[in-house]
Structure 1
Amino acid sequence: MTAVELNEAPLAHYARIEFGLFFEVGSFMEPIRGTLNGYLVAEHDGDPVGGVGWKPDPFGVPDVVWLIWGYLHPAKQRRGIGTVLFDELERHLAGLGARKFYLDVGNEKEKAGAVNFCEKRGYVREGVLKDYWRAGEDFTIYAKELRPA
């Protein structure tokens, strides 16, 4: 498995064709252009199997980054691909000077696998915004301090 950094056109293609995610090129990139933003796609035998995207903190904290989406094909889960992808992501962000990385796992009871994955990687639950996305769908915040590269 390799993690490759992509510009927005190939990423939108991967997201749309391979993962069923529908992003318009430019529409989701515009608000996050800058140093601490980007995307990594996991490839296995040359085929995309997952990816992550991140952006700078919306409040302007210079060394804080948020995961804005992540996906790993269900048939490829529990094979170490997510671990390799997050290893590369965290190394990349630390190399850019990011101090802290946040992500939303959604409803903890429904996303037990994501919670377990985060906790095994050293992420700590820092808060829950109840019914944030809509009634019954929480915004559960996990965070990790990144070590300088």
Structure 2
Amino acid sequence: MSATLTSAYMWIKALHVISVIFWMAGMAYLPRLFVYHAEAKVGSEKSETFKIMERRLLRGIINPAMIASFLFGGLMLWLNPALLSEHWLHAKLFLVVVMTAAHGFFARWRKDFEADRNRHSSRFYRIVNEVPPTLVVVIVILVIVRPF
């Protein structure tokens, strides 16, 4: 890579890491809001406040951060296509697909809460709350350690 391209690549990589941090922070917080929302009485002021918080978190932080993560990650692969032959990257990308599926479930559950149709207990959301951090731990190990 030329010096200019390398410099651009490092900026793109930094922006990718920043956007992933925001995405994961939101993904860790949203199910925690669901825990408390599931315990709130439907129609209560508390429930209505959670609806606003969940919508703003998803639309204002989580969705844009996910899009930015994909954009900057895709740019990195476009600038360095040799990475596509790395097995650790295949595993990472698979886990990113799993994280994206979790994101989709969270968005659907948010809509269920919005319509007062939540079908899950606070215990369910406490368990689901562990999914994003667990995925992040494995993804970071794959990226830093590159075990295969």
Which TM-score applies when normalising by structure 2? 0.25
Higher RCO structure, 1 or 2 (CA under 8 Å, sep 6+): 2
Rg larger for: 2
More strand, by proportion? 1
TM-score of the two chains, using structure 1 as the length reference: 0.25
Higher helix share: 2
